[in-house]
Amino acid sequence: MATQTLSETRPRTAQAKAGSSGPHWRRHPAWWFLAPFAIMYLLFLIGPTLYMLVASFFNTSLVHDGLGSFAGLSNYAEMLGRADFQSAMWHTLLFTILTVPPLTILAFVLAVLANRIPRGQVFFRLAFFLPFILPSASIALIWVFIYTPDTGLLAMVQGWLGMKPTAVLADPTWAMWGGAAATVWWTIGFNFILYLAALQDIPRELYESAAIDGATPWQQIRHLTIPLLGSTTTLVILLQIIASLKIFDQIYLMTAGGPGQSTQVALTFITGEGFTSNRIGAASAASVLLFIAIMIIAAARQGLSQIQNARS
């Protein structure tokens, strides 16, 4: 214990060194300070992760205590071979494909435009960002009502335009589009404010000198704004992919995976397997596969922000 030293991380001054030999610093407060968070971290992050890994190799069931009989790789083999798991993974990917481009491009366009106007930003931020902090349950109730077949708001507008009303959520072809549209509406504000923050870091002088050189606003956006926001765009896309892979709320609330299996996504599949079919082992194997996919993207995002931090 006497060999432990504790000094300031940043300025390793003589004072800090002197302080480190004082009596108070020998008891190693670091671990006491870390303990409360570390206990929660072990209990609710590491613990469940390990349990998920272990249970994925057993026939664990919700209705029995313990892990159940050893299953080897059979849960994984079953998952990879099952058509409904494959289609859930495909739907998750489809949802990602449907939401990431509009959530990135539209957020970018809206932020660039909002950043160029002198007044009214507070209003636009309210319009675009406020939905993001509202509960998914409110969002789902609002959108399910808009999509009401024949009599809903969408059907009315389609009628005005002379189109045949679509029963969006009851139609296997359109249900995922319906969920995707509600999601774009719900979460675009997050990307909008990320872009707005990045735009406001761009020095005004750059635009001024571009304007002096005769660059049109369009040229300024194309040759200044887009390249300068490259790293923000990468961040937005990666965060967006991670969020899409974890999609649960909107689907559970709006379609419950239906009609049929047409909107079943990875996480609704996992909860169905675990809580409805009581098959913890099988659900764990599916969780591990999704977990790995998300961790790969998340690692890319971490690596990228490390590089960015190092650069700035």
Partner 1 sequence: MSTTTLATTTSGISAAAPPARRSGSGLQTEPRAFKIVTRVVLTIFAVLWLLPTLWAIRTSLVSNATASLGAEAVLKDTNPTLHSYSVLLQSGDIWNWYVASAVTSVLTVVLTVLFASMAGYVLSRMRFRGRWLVFMLVVLGIMVPTQVLIVPIFRELSAMHLLNTYWSVILPQVPAVVAVFIFKQFFDGLPKEMEEAARIDGAGPWRIYRSIVMPMSTPVISAVGILTFVSVWNNLILPLYTLTNPKLMTIPVGLATVQGSYGQRLADIQASAILGALPLVILYFFFQRRIVEGFAGSGVKG
CA dihedral 244, 250, 256, 258 (to 10 degrees): -70
Contact 61, 279 (CB under 8 A): yes
Q: Is 55 in the site for partner 1 (CB under 8 A)?
A: yes
Q: Is 146 in the site for partner 1 (CB under 8 A)?
A: yes
Give residue for tokens 């708001």: 153
- 3-state DSSP call for residue 158? helix
Nearest distance, CB of residue 71 and partner 1, angstroms: 16
Nearest distance, CB of residue 162 and partner 1, angstroms: 16
Nearest distance, CB of residue 166 and partner 1, angstroms: 14
Joined together, the tokens standing for residue 238 give 């990666």
Name the residue nearer to partner 1 (CB basis): 126 or 307. 126
Q: Is 274 in the site for partner 1 (CB under 8 A)?
A: yes
Strand partners of residue 70: 58
Strands (DSSP E) contained in 218-273 are none
Q: Which residues contact 184 (CB under 8 A, 6 or more apart)?
A: 99, 102, 103, 106
Residues between 214 and 243 that touch partner 1 (CB under 8 A): 214, 216-218, 235, 239-240, 242-243
Nearest distance, CB of residue 14 and partner 1, angstroms: 11
Number of residues that bind partner 1 (CB under 8 A): 130
Exactly one of 81, 151, 227, 310 binds partner 1 (CB under 8 A); that residue is 151
Exactly one of 170, 193, 224, 228 binds partner 1 (CB under 8 A); that residue is 193
Q: Which of 56, 88, 89, 60 is nearest to 75 (CA)?
A: 56
Residues in the chain: 312
Residues between 63 and 102 that touch partner 1 (CB under 8 A): none
Stretch that binds partner 1, among 76-84, 91-99, 142-150, 169-177 (CB under 8 A): 142-150
Q: Which of 291, 246, 270 is nearest to 62 (CA)?
A: 270
- 3-state DSSP call for residue 77? helix
Joined together, the tokens standing for residue 75 give 């849960």
Residues between 283 and 312 that touch partner 1 (CB under 8 A): 283-284, 287, 290-291, 294-295, 298-299, 301-302, 305
Q: Is 33 in the site for partner 1 (CB under 8 A)?
A: yes
Q: Is 135 in the site for partner 1 (CB under 8 A)?
A: yes
Q: Is 253 in the site for partner 1 (CB under 8 A)?
A: yes
